[in-house]
Amino acid sequence: MTRSYGCVFKANYKETGEIVAIKQVPVESDLQEIIKEISIMQQCNSPHVVRYYGSYFKNSDLWIVMEYCAAGSVSDIIRLRNKTLTEDEIATIVQSTLKGLEYLHFMRKIHRDIKAGNILLNAEGQAKLADFGDTMAKRNTVIGTPFWMAPEVIQEIGYNCVADIWSLGITAIEMAEGKPPYADIHPMRAIFMIPTNPPPTFRNPDLWSEPFQDFLTQCLVKNPENRATATQLLQNTFIKTAKPSSILRALITDAMEIKLKNVEAEQREQDQEDEDNSDEDEVDQGTMVRAGTSDMGTVREAGSLAGTVRTMIKQSDMGTMESQLGTMVINSDDDEDAGTMKRSCDGRTS
C-alpha cells in the first residue's frame, strides 16, 4: 500500500512470526537530526499511537519498522466502501485519536499532519495515530496537508499543540462528508481562504446531532488561545458517550473483504497478462532453466522478482530489535523548522 512520501510493505518478523509494517520514506534533511529524533521516539508508548519498533537508512531512504494495522487507514476504509462513516463510528474513532493526541501533547510533541489517512485501524477496531515519518522527512517545509492545516500554521505566526485539534475537527468533517472543506478548490487558494474565512461547518448541519456540532465548534476555533485541548475535548458529551471500538469491526470486515476481492481481481489480471506476454517457463529467482524453443540449447538464469520486497529483521527478540534499531519520532516542540515559528505546548514562542 502507498501513503504520502513513500510505500508501506507488510513483512514477517521471523523470530516471533509477528506481522509488522515497513515504511520507506525519502529523507531530505540532516541525518544527524533525524537520528536524534529516532532515539527520542523510544519513549512513546501508547495504545493509541502506532508503535515504532525501529528504523534504518539505506541510500537516501529511511526504512521504518512499525506496528501493523490490518485495516489500513480511515481514509482507505472510506474509499474501499465508497461511503462515509456514521456519527457513532466517527465518535469512536475521534475518541481514540484524542487519547493519542493527549499522550503526544503531554510528551510535548505535535503531530502536525492529522487527517483520516494518518489514523490507522487494527483488526479489532482500535484507532491509532500514525505517519510521524513524513513530519521528520520534510523538516524544511511547513508541515501538514493544506486542507487540514490550522490558520496559525498557514500564517506562520507560531503554533502549539492545539494546531492538531483544528486538524482533528477538519478530519471529523472528512469522515462525515468524504472530504475536507475546500477540497474541490486549488490548494493554494485554500491556503488563502482558511485563515480569512469563518471556521468551516457541515454542508448539511441538519444531518448531524447537536453534540457532534458542538464538538466541531470547539475544535474549529480560529484563535488558538481559545481552542480546546485534547484533555478538555475528552470530556465533551460527543466523546464521553462514544461507543466501544467493537462497533467498528463490521465496517472493517466489509472493507477488508472488498480489498481482498480487489487484490484477487488484480492478481487474475496480472496472471492473464503474464500468460499472454510470455511463452517462457516461469521460474524462481536464481534457478537455472532451459529457455524456450526460440533459443533451444542455451542455459540462462532467471531474472530477479521485480517489485518484490523481502525484509528480514534478525534479532533475538522484539525488545532487542527496538533497542538496536531505534524508533521514529515526530518533531518535539523545541525543534525549529526553517521559516516556521512554533509555540511550545505551554505557549512559549521559539
The tally of CA atoms less than 13 A away on the side-chain side of residue 212 is: 23
Element (H, E) at 139: none
Q: Are strands 52-58 and 61-67 parallel, antiparallel or unpaired?
A: antiparallel
Query: How far apart are the C-alpha atoms of 158 and 47, rounded to whole Å?
Result: 30
Query: How far apart are the C-alpha atoms of 319 and 323, rounded to whole Å?
Result: 6
Separation of first and last alpha carbons in the chain: 37
Q: Identify the active-site residue in 61, 76, 88, 113.
A: 113
Please name the amino acid found at residue 188: M
- Asked if 93 and 74 touch (Cβ cutoff 8 Å), the reply is yes
Torsion of CA 106, 107, 112, 116, to 10 degrees: -70
* Catalytic residue status for 134: no
β-partners of residue 49 are 129
Catalytic site positions: 113
